Amino acid sequence: MSATNYSINGRIWIETPEGKVLGHGRVELLERIHVTGSLRQAALQMKMSYKQAWDLVKHTNEGFTEPLVQLSRGGTGGGKAILTEKGHQVIAEFKKIQKKFIDFMKEEENLIKI
């Protein structure tokens, strides 16, 4: 049982001078793309429109030096979405930081005195 009724919560993200390029939501989208191999399925799972997901991937790809997701259309299955090696790296890096961030918040929550 904590000594306080308050909890600390927050969000972190990676950005460039042009703006946000990766955060909580995008990482989840990328992970679902990796699992399903499909942008449409990933979007469905997250209950977002295909268009929004596609825009997110576009902006994310443009935010890094190389694409994190490789989209292709036509062929067997109609098309596919594949996470690049860079995509895997970036996700891993973000999740590492995210884990530390959660620890940070937990710690501060225990110290809080109001």
d(CA 38, CA 73): 11
Residue ranges in 82-111 that form contacts with DNA under rule CB under 7 A? none
Per CB under 8 A, contacts with a copy of itself among 22-61 are none
Does 11 bind DNA (CB under 7 A)? Our answer is no
Of the candidate residues 23, 28, 45, 79, the single one contacting DNA (CB under 7 A)? 79
47 burial type by CB count under 10 A (0-12 exposed, 13-18 middle, 19+ buried):
exposed
Quote the CA–CA distance of 71 and 68 in Å, as a whole number. Answer: 10
CB of 107: closest distance to DNA in angstroms?
30
2 binds, among a copy of itself, DNA, none (CB under 5 to 8 A by kind): none
Q: Which does 40 bind (CB under 5 to 8 A by kind): a copy of itself, DNA, none?
A: DNA
Q: 3-state SS of 32-79?
A: HHHHHCCHHHHHHHCCCCHHHHHHHHHHHHHHCCCCCEEEEECCHHHE
Stretch that binds DNA, among 12-20, 68-76, 91-99, 102-110 (CB under 7 A): 68-76
CA distance 15 to 34: 22
Residues that bind a copy of itself (CB under 8 A): 5-16, 20-21, 64-65, 86, 89-90, 93, 97, 100-101, 104-105, 108, 112-114
